[in-house]
Amino acid sequence: MTVATQVKDTLATLKGAQGTLRMYSLQSRETKSIDVYNEALETTNEIIKDLEIRLKTLELEEPQFKGN
């Protein structure tokens, strides 16, 4: 498995986790819980952005990984 494939798999997993966090946030009735879920969403969003930048770099450095 290439590094690019691993990064793509990680991105997919994180985006799935974000969906779950959003669902929990919407279902929660406690303000403190909602705040915790929203903070986790912000953190995962930052990580996703960083990984997307890394993936673009990988694709530029190694064109064979592009689109896989």
What is the maximal distance between C-alpha atoms in the chain?
Answer: 48
Q: Is the pLDDT of residue 6 over 90?
A: yes
Domain ranges in the chain? 3-58
- Say what the pTM is: 0.83
Higher pLDDT, 50 or 4: 50
How many CB atoms neighbour CB 21 within 10 A?
Answer: 19
DSSP states along the chain: --HHHHHHHHHHHHHHHHHHHHHHHHH---HHHHHHHHHHHHHHHHHHHHHHHHHHHHHHH-GGGTT-
What's the pLDDT tens digit per position in 9-62? 999 999 999 999 999 999 999 999 999 999 999 999 999 999 999 999 988 887
